[in-house]
């Protein structure tokens, strides 16, 4: 089984994308929730998907975001941005 260990910041978003999503948030947890609700960058997520397709890989989340969101929430946001590879753990 192949696995891609995925960080989110800088891989599935960038500073501008994240800043636009979290404007007005008061806590880090609130910011992560807002970023997941707004979604991740579909162009960057497509790059991750191409790697997963080439390797036949599943995804394990290694991002610090896993402290404030569940694996299911992160997986849903990735799927909404176009990821079809399974997110199997964090």
pLDDT score of 41 more than 80: yes
Range with lowest mean pLDDT among 6-15, 49-58, 78-87: 6-15
Alpha helices in the chain (DSSP H): 15-22, 28-38, 42-55, 71-80
2-26 pLDDT, tens digit each = 999 999 988 998 878 777 778 888 8
CA distance 56 to 72: 21
């Amino acid at each position: 089984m192949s696995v891609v260990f995925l960080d989110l910041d800088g891989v599935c978003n960038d500073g501008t994308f994240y800043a636009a999503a979290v404007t007005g948030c008061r806590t880090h947890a609130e910011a992560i929730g807002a970023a997941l609700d707004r979604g991740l960058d579909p162009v960057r997520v497509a790059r991750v998907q191409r790697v997963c397709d080439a390797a036949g890989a599943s995804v394990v989340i290694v991002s610090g975001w896993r402290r404030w969101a569940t694996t299911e929430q992160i997986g849903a946001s990735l799927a909404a941005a176009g990821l079809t590879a399974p997110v199997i753990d964090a």
